[in-house]
Structure 1
Amino acid sequence: MSSIKITPFIFLLSFTFLQTTFAVNPLYHFCLSTSGNFTLNTPYDTNLNTLLTLLQRKTSPSGFSLASTGQNPSQVYGLALCRGDVNSTDCTTCVYDARTEIRKRCPYNKGGIIWYDNCFLKYIDQNFFGQIDNKNEFQLSNVANISNAPSLFNQKVKGLLSQLANESASARKLYAAGEMKLDTFTNLYGLAQCTRDLSSKNCKICLDEAINKLPTCCDGSQGGRTVGGSCNVRYEIYPFINS
């Protein structure tokens, strides 16, 4: 990771890691809370452990799950989402890694969110289902730039991702992936995905906002993504989607 610049709610990161690196280490995480921390062996701790186990078990069949456990004031809400092209085995593995790692990184916070290439997981002590989360967000940019006609390339990136945003918002799983031919030797690949607690309308709003933020980090970059708590978009000039 070569540089980090922090702006309100947005983390801009450059990366040169191989995709296999992300299989071990998360892309990013935030520790969250709306009402302070908790202590071990309390009702909230028990409810959180139950929730994380439940999310791991429920996510792999369809690639998404959301649940809540306990009663106020110790109730906890959470969801887990796997990337739309990830198989059930890899989904299960990713959610297991996510639930394990977030407890290490946010041991006493009442909320946490963690992202991997294949999945992400979020929990907090407040009902967030159906709401667009654009506060917990970061961006990744490929350090290699397009050398020929970057402005035209940016237009094509926005065109492809906007098309995928439309497809994702109307899809049953709120996920779409596709590609566009740039020239004889180069294709542009992209994806757009929302958490399935969002309505089709809110999914489209979330994705459009994510696409509009890409120039902040990725103007002329060969690859980039905006990753948030409710949706994410990504593009590359190499195939990264599982067939």
Structure 2
Amino acid sequence: MFFFKSIPLGLLVLCLFHHSAIGASPLYHICFSQQNYPASSPYGANLNLLFNLLYTKVPPTGFGLGSTGHAKNQVNGLALCRGDVSSKDCNTCVVDASKDLRELCPSRKGAIIWYDHCLLKYSDVGFFGQIDTNNRFYLYNVQEVENGTVFNEKVKELLSGLSNEASEDNQKFYATGEVQLDTFTTLYGLAQCTRDLSGVDCKKCLDSAIGELPNCCNAKRGGRVVGGSCNVRFELYPIVST
């Protein structure tokens, strides 16, 4: 079960009462451009070309970006798959994302959508290499741990280490890790950036996301801060494929 709550600056909180297998369903989307394009316009045709480009460009490495068209009809876009996702599942996610965005944000000149396995973003405005500070949402488990203060410190410690590791990985900007809390409890974490950023900006983005955790995920059993340029996540169960 999900609970949705609108909060300032376009952020969204999604509350999970328990671990949910989201599968191919979107986590969230934002139609961030207020401008529309006619269905038969060159912009629409260029958007289709961009989606076709990302279908083929992204799966081999898990990331790709590109631009199609010129001047006012130029479309810029990127897609990122989670670091452990196979090429086949990455392709499926990017294809689903392009289809869903057409339905959820019809004729919008800029939009973004997130899934467990990938994100896809496009815009008529150039955004490559810039940290996206506008498009962000939270997702967390409403169940709380018993010793929240100590748990929060362990979460911050784990994710801060993963922020350093991911930002120094110039090939993938992706890191996962775990820490044993006690005999029966393991804390798992993940950090990832889009690869159009520099290493410095990747770390800046991740550290900013980690800094948001007290606002959404204080003493929660699991949580995420998900944005257009990076995301961090922690859980008390394994997050990625082995």
TM-score bracket, shorter-length normalisation: over 0.9
Partner of 1:219: 218
For 1:142 and 1:5, the matched residues in 2 are separated by 17
Once the two structures are superposed, what CA deviation does each residue of 1:200-236 show, in whole Å capped at 9, x if it has no partner?
0000000000000011110000000000000000000
Partner of 2:151: 153
| SS of equivalent to 1:81 | strand
Partner of 2:11: 10
1:143 aligns with 2:127: no
Once the two structures are superposed, what CA deviation does each residue of 1:50-107 show, in whole Å capped at 9, x if it has no partner?
0011111111000000000000110000000000011111111111111100110011
Which residue identity is paired with 1:166?
N
Pairs within 5 Å for 1:31-42? 31-33=31-33, 36-42=35-41
Distance 1:90 1:17, change over 3 A: farther
For 1:46 and 1:211, the matched residues in 2 are separated by 39
Which residue identity is paired with 1:235?
F
Which residue identity is paired with 1:24?
A
Alpha-carbon shift at residue 11 of structure 1 (Å): 1.3
Q: Which has the larger displacement, 25-34 or 205-214?
A: 25-34
Pairs within 5 Å for 1:14-163? 14-16=15-17, 18-20=19-21, 22-33=22-33, 36-147=35-146, 149-163=147-161
Query: Runs of 5+ in structure 2 lacking a partner?
Result: none
What is the identity percentage for the equivalent residue pairs of Structure 1 and Structure 2?
53
Which residue identity is paired with 1:231?
C
Contact 1:5–1:13 (Cα < 8 Å) also in 2: no
For 2:196 and 2:39, the matched residues in 1 are separated by 30
Contact 1:10–1:139 (Cα < 8 Å) also in 2: yes
For 1:177 and 1:166, the matched residues in 2 are separated by 11
Query: Runs of 5+ in structure 1 lacking a partner?
Result: none
Distance 1:166 1:159, change over 3 A: same
Structure 1 moving runs of 4+ over 6 Å: none
**TM-score, normalised on structure 2?**
0.97
Alpha-carbon shift at residue 25 of structure 1 (Å): 1.7
Once the two structures are superposed, what CA deviation does each residue of 1:134-173 show, in whole Å capped at 9, x if it has no partner?
21000001111102x1100000000000000000000121
Which residue identity is paired with 1:239?
P
| SS of equivalent to 1:37 | coil
Distance 1:187 1:103, change over 3 A: same
| SS of equivalent to 2:7 | strand
For 2:162 and 2:151, the matched residues in 1 are separated by 17
Which residue identity is paired with 2:84?
D
For 2:38 and 2:32, the matched residues in 1 are separated by 15
Contact 1:161–1:192 (Cα < 8 Å) also in 2: yes
- CA RMSD, aligned part only? 1.1
| SS of equivalent to 1:73 | helix
**TM-score, normalised on structure 1?**
0.96
